[in-house]
Amino acid sequence: MKTETRFFVRYAETDQMGIVHHSNYAIWFEVGRTDFFIKSGYSNSDFESNGIMLPLYELSCQFKSPARYGDEVSVVTCLDKVSPVRLVFSYEVYSVSDNKLLATGKTMHAWTNTSLKPVNVIKKLPAAYSMLTRLLE
């Protein structure tokens, strides 16, 4: 399953050069991931209310072309891997006006409890794990 999340670049996200500062891409990935979960039927708050957290343990981003204030961007989010202890997402960020690829990235997350101790999500939330694995098919 892939989801698309669109929004406009805010002035506060740009730097002195007038382009989006690199630190915002991690936030945009989170926006895409949050939207992905909502569209899949499970939100982050659903996980958290069941004592499950998804801390980020690795992030990568490759910048292709700059985004600027006022541009409409699209974050395409894809679930790449689900295991009982991890999730991996990939992202593509596009300029909506010309469909130009602006950046690509990946985030890796661990399933943990609220004390950040690893958990096996199959045992803790089997319905969520089953739903996510179906999204890979």
Residue 125's pLDDT is: 93
Query: pTM here?
Result: 0.94
Q: Identify whether the C-beta of residue 112 lies closer than 8 Å to the C-beta of residue 55.
A: yes
- Cβ distance 36 to 54 under 8 Å? no
Q: Pick one of 3.40.50.1580, 3.10.129.10, 1.10.1790.20, 3.40.50.970 as the CATH number of 2-136.
A: 3.10.129.10
Closest CA to 74 of 11, 135, 28, 136: 28
CA distance 66 to 120: 39
Q: How does pLDDT run across 23-51, given as a tens digit for each residue?
A: 999 999 999 999 999 999 888 899 999 99
> pLDDT tens digit string along 75-106?
999 999 999 999 999 999 999 999 999 999 99
35 HSE (CA, 13 A, CB side): 18
